[in-house]
């Protein structure tokens, strides 16, 4: 579940890439304008293009701001080398549609998720949390990302918010404090809408209208998919054999929390379907596998701190963290107290 040392180093260094920085600034500027209580007139649609230099590769990003709470990032590029940067979706619901290319999302607790090929996913990142993404160079990348504010999604869905997965629904009413991500099946209608955004046509006077219509269609299709998927997950039924296998997985995770196997590896080890294993584990133990791993790490860290004899860096390495700063952040979030304050008492 851990990324390579090279990937971690790249994320730790976070190179200042001027195009990404410009997009982040545009995103922040438009969000501030939309949220400003002094704003009297609606923000007019805007489209900014950021072209890659020859050193960086070829292609472009388009940043489109429609109105309060709805923005779009379009990517059509070929990078010369891997690029690591921070997420720009803090506090927003992010719907990512990828046609080609490869990226790796790296979470604050150092777990990672690889995204490649045809993909659709819904993600949230609460304010104040850190997540990064590494884009793979040497390949053609085509993708779009829709940014929708929780307030805007509530306006679109109304009472339909209740049909969303619990974590996403909580984020939509500003009550969630955890990162959420879920994959949605890609349908032909999605790829057609994505193509119409990347290649909107020649009629400039209708460009924003057409792109916004395509964005709303994609938003609708993605939310419909995640609602349907959520209903299926809730109906997962477990046999006695399934429950035995899930208990085996829990024991495996307990014994290997410092470097736990991936979901696909666990599924092969016990002979279960990945979806049934993933949601069966939560149904049986009331927690996801990643949260159970975090629980094991934090409890062991606390034991080692109270026992004394090891410094924070040693404890961090023992429980699976490569950087003591990431461990300290996770520990404080989990227990409400820094490991340093406990370590100093022993």
Asked whether the beta carbons of 59 and 76 are under 8 A apart, the reply is yes
Per-residue pLDDT of the chain (346 residues; tens, 9 = 90+): 333 333 333 333 333 334 455 555 555 555 444 344 433 334 456 888 889 999 989 999 888 888 778 999 999 999 999 988 876 667 889 999 999 999 888 766 556 678 888 889 888 877 766 667 888 899 999 999 999 998 999 888 888 888 888 778 888 877 666 677 888 888 888 888 888 888 766 556 677 888 889 999 999 999 888 887 666 555 566 788 888 899 999 999 999 999 999 988 999 999 998 878 888 888 788 788 988 999 999 999 999 998 888 999 999 999 999 889 989 998 988 888 899 888 666 5
Asked whether the beta carbons of 298 and 308 are under 8 A apart, the reply is no
Provide the token pair at 1: 């579940």
Phi, psi of 118 (to 5 degrees): -75, 120
Beta-bridged to residue 119, according to DSSP, are: 98
CA angle 74/75/78 to nearest 5° reads 170
The residues, any chain, with a CB within 8 Å of residue 334's CB and separated by 6 or more, are 294, 298
DSSP letters for 75-141 = EEEEESS-EEEE-S-TTSEEEEEEEE-EEEEE-TTSBEEEEESSEEEEEE--TT---EEEEPSSSEE
Three-state DSSP class for residue 4: coil
How far apart CA 141 and CA 138 sit, in angstroms, is 9
Q: What does pTM read for this prediction?
A: 0.62
Instruction: Say what the pLDDT of residue 183 is.
Output: 82
Provide the token pair at 255: 């014994």
pLDDT digit string, tens, across residues 142-151: 999 999 998 9
C-alpha distances in Å from residue 335, one per residue of 111, 181, 302? 20, 24, 9
pLDDT digit string, tens, across residues 51-85: 999 998 999 988 888 877 899 999 999 999 998 88
- Quote the strand ranges of 150-216, DSSP E: 180-183
H-helix or E-strand spanning residue 155:
helix 150-157
pLDDT digit string, tens, across residues 187-233: 888 888 888 888 766 556 677 888 889 999 999 999 888 887 666 55
Asked whether the beta carbons of 2 and 112 are under 8 A apart, the reply is yes
The number of C-alpha atoms within 13 Å of 38 and in the hemisphere containing its C-beta is 2
């Amino acid at each position: 579940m851990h990324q390579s040392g090279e990937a971690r180093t790249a994320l730790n260094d976070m190179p200042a890439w001027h195009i990404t920085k410009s997009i982040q600034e545009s995103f922040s500027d438009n969000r501030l304008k939309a949220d400003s209580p002094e704003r009297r007139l609606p923000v007019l649609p805007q489209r900014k293009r950021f072209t890659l230099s020859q050193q960086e590769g070829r292609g472009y990003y388009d940043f489109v701001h429609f109105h309060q709470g709805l923005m779009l990032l379009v990517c059509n590029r070929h990078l010369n080398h891997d690029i690591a940067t921070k997420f720009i979706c803090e506090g927003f619901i992010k719907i990512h549609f990828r046609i080609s290319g490869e990226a790796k999302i790296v979470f604050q607790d150092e777990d990672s998720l690889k995204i490649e090929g045809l993909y659709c996913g819904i993600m949230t990142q609460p304010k104040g949390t850190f997540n990064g993404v590494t884009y793979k160079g040497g390949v053609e990348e085509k993708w779009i990302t829709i940014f929708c504010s929780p307030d805007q999604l509530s306006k679109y869905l109304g009472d339909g918010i209740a049909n969303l997965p619990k974590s996403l629904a909580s984020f939509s009413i500003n009550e969630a404090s955890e990162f959420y991500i879920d994959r949605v099946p890609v349908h032909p209608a999605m790829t057609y809408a994505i193509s119409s955004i990347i290649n909107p046509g020649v009629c400039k006077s209708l460009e924003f209208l057409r792109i916004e219509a395509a964005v709303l269609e994609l938003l609708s299709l993605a939310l419909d998919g995640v609602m349907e998927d959520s209903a299926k997950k809730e109906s997962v039924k477990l046999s006695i054999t399934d429950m035995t296998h899930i208990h085996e997985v829990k024991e495996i995770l307990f014994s290997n929390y410092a470097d736990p196997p991936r979901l696909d590896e666990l599924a092969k080890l016990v002979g279960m379907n990945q979806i049934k294993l993933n949601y069966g584990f939560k149904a049986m133990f009331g927690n996801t596998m990643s949260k159970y791993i975090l629980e094991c790490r934090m409890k062991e860290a606390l034991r080692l701190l109270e026992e004394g004899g090891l410094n924070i860096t040693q404890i961090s390495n023992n429980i699976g963290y490569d950087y003591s700063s990431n461990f300290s952040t996770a520990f404080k979030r989990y227990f409400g107290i820094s490991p340093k304050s406990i370590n100093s008492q022993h």
